[in-house]
Structure 1
Amino acid sequence: MQVFDLVERGARAASEPNPGAAMHGMLTGLRDRLDDVYDALDFCGCSEADDTPDRQIFYRSPDLLMMRICFCPGLRTPPHDHSTWAAILMLSGSERNIVYRRCGRHGLEKTGEVLLKPGSIFRMQEDTIHVAECATDEPAIALHVYGGDLDNLPR
């Protein structure tokens, strides 16, 4: 498997009438090929240079963003949503996602927690609010797919 194989599969899923569900199906089909996906994205490094997850974007279009994300031990995002559907396929390590819902005008209420291990898939709706963090003492590496270019979506 190579990067263009992942992009081709992702673009095909993104063009479906329900792209979030189609992407979940595409990622499910990759579960048996985690090593191949990991190797295809191995050109992306995992830097411990700062306190943010290492994002390596390998495909960007107005309706699809695909990237490899590496959370080094101890890293944690602030609460956020993506303003579009999102799906994660965990490749190695472990990532904890704490899920929230809006409570009042400025508050958040924890509604659940999802622990991702290799082969786990986490699908989010456009209004899913979560905190992501590395859950072990080894880097958490995953394929993240979004229904739009996060840098150009209203948030």
Structure 2
Amino acid sequence: MESVTTVKCRPSWSPPPPGSLKLNFDGSSIGNPGPAGVGGLCRNHKGEVIWAYSGPIGFADSSEAEVRAVYSGILSMPRLECDSLIVEGDSVNVIRWLSGVASPPWRFVPFFEEIEDRGKGYSMVFQHVRRSANVAADSLAKSGVSRAELECCDYLPP
């Protein structure tokens, strides 16, 4: 896994450069801890959805929901043809853990080991964004709380 960039002033989502894909992820925990869900989507340089996912993870706190959101996204991702994968989320801690700037809590280490293994072969860049730039992933995470199971598709699920 390669680098981390903090984006402080971009108020809305922006597309990745041609040849790259962008995965936005988010977790939601109602009650913190409470019923939780994950969601995210991958888009190309035209903003077209390549694939999206949304689903429940049971009872969790917000940190676990965020970790499991990026984990679900990377592990459910089909093998994609791209030069690089930009991974964006609104959790500073998760982005720092993904990039290796900080060590994750021990309970999350197995998730990060699998993410790293699955990410081999991709140039991955991790970026922190404002919530306003992560609206679509947030919506998928919130709807994931009430889904029966993780759903993955090549469009935005209702």
Higher relative contact order (CA 8 A, sep 6+): 2
Which TM-score bucket, shorter chain as reference? under 0.3
Larger Rg: 1
Structure with the largest fraction of helix:
2
- What is the TM-score with the length of structure 2 in the denominator? 0.26
Structure with the largest fraction of strand:
1
